[in-house]
């Protein structure tokens, strides 16, 4: 795991939402790694949603910024600085003038495009055991942060997902809300899943908490 440099400024709720050279430099100081798969799913989503014109706009913006991410040459199983993960999401949001709802929809689609998730979902486990295995999904994608279900109540069909030690950038909040929705949908085999971030590390909490309910 990367070490925090002396001039590293921990993120806050007012962390930059626009990306230029100074922001890229600061974001690249964030400790931790992300698997190349996450960039692949970003690019595939834009390709599906916006077509060639959309991917051309995204690549052009990356070129303008010195090409911090070369989507088409990313190796899905290799590790990259987690700051690039933030840069990818912020630039996509900027280029297509998206709001948090659009980022959440992007998060919903990501597990469907990830070969890592597809591979893990082939393991046949009980619902409760599968929920416990969400920690492994996380570790396959990020070298930092700890994800675990909390208070699994199969009778009331309710659980919480707790994500600790992952105060990276507020843009992850809507993205992960969507991402965890689809993961829960896969595991619970239910179309009637609701999810809400009930605690946020950017709003004074010690962690991110997502409430998951299903029918």
DSSP string, 16-41: -SS--HHHHHHHTTS--EEETHHHHH
How does the average pLDDT of the chain come out, rounded?
Answer: 86
For residues 132 and 45, membership in a common domain is answered with no
- Three-state SS string over 51-70 comes to HHHHHHHHHHHHHHCCCCCC
- Please determine, for residue 41, whether its predicted confidence score (pLDDT) is greater than 50: yes
pLDDT in tens, 68-83: 999 999 999 999 999 9
The CATH number of whichever domain residue 207 belongs to comes to 3.90.1520.10
For residues 121 and 198, membership in a common domain is answered with yes
Parent domain of 173: 115-214
Is there a domain that residue 143 lies in? yes
Residue 130: predicted pLDDT: 73
Is there a domain that residue 130 lies in? yes
Select from 60, 83, 106 the last residue of a domain. 106
- Please determine, for residue 207, whether its predicted confidence score (pLDDT) is greater than 70: yes
Residue 79: predicted pLDDT: 97
For residues 97 and 40, membership in a common domain is answered with yes
- Please determine, for residue 163, whether its predicted confidence score (pLDDT) is greater than 80: yes
Residue 112: predicted pLDDT: 86
For residues 126 and 204, membership in a common domain is answered with yes
Average pLDDT value for residue range 95-99: 94
What is the total count of domains within the chain? 2
Residue 189: predicted pLDDT: 80
13 band by pLDDT with thresholds 50, 70 and 90: very low
For residues 130 and 164, membership in a common domain is answered with yes
For residues 121 and 189, membership in a common domain is answered with yes
Average pLDDT value for residue range 12-18: 54
Is there a domain that residue 14 lies in? no
Is there a domain that residue 66 lies in? yes
pLDDT in tens, 105-119: 999 999 888 766 666
For residues 100 and 120, membership in a common domain is answered with no
Is there a domain that residue 164 lies in? yes
Select from 85, 106, 127 the last residue of a domain. 106
Spatial distance between the Cα atoms of 33 and 121, rounded to a whole number of angstroms: 23
pLDDT in tens, 127-156: 777 777 777 888 989 999 999 888 888 889
Select from 72, 106, 140 the last residue of a domain. 106
Average pLDDT value for residue range 10-31: 74
Is there a domain that residue 8 lies in? no
Is there a domain that residue 4 lies in? no
Is there a domain that residue 2 lies in? no
For residues 136 and 83, membership in a common domain is answered with no
pLDDT in tens, 172-196: 999 999 999 998 888 888 778 999 9
For residues 127 and 198, membership in a common domain is answered with yes
Average pLDDT value for residue range 156-167: 94
């Amino acid at each position: 795991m990367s070490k925090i440099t002396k001039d590293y400024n921990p993120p806050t709720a007012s962390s930059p939402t626009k990306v230029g050279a100074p922001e890229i430099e600061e974001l690249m100081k964030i400790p931790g790694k992300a698997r190349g798969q996450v960039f692949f799913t970003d690019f595939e989503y834009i390709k599906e949603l916006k077509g060639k014109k959309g991917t051309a706009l995204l690549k052009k913006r990356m070129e303008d910024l010195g090409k911090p991410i070369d989507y088409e040459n990313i190796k899905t199983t290799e590790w990259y600085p987690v700051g690039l993960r933030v840069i990818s999401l912020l630039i996509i949001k900027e280029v297509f003038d998206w709001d948090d709802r659009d980022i959440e929809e992007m998060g919903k689609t990501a597990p469907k495009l990830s070969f890592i998730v597809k591979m893990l979902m082939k393991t046949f486990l009980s619902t409760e055991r599968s929920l416990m295995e969400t920690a492994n999904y996380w570790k396959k994608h990020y070298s930092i942060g700890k994800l675990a279900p909390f208070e699994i109540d199969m009778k009331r069909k309710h659980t919480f997902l707790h994500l600790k030690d992952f105060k990276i950038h507020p843009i992850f909040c809507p993205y992960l809300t969507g991402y965890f929705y689809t993961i829960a949908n896969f595991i619970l085999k239910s179309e009637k899943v609701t999810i809400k971030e009930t605690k946020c590390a950017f709003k004074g909490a010690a962690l991110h908490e997502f409430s998951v309910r299903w029918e």
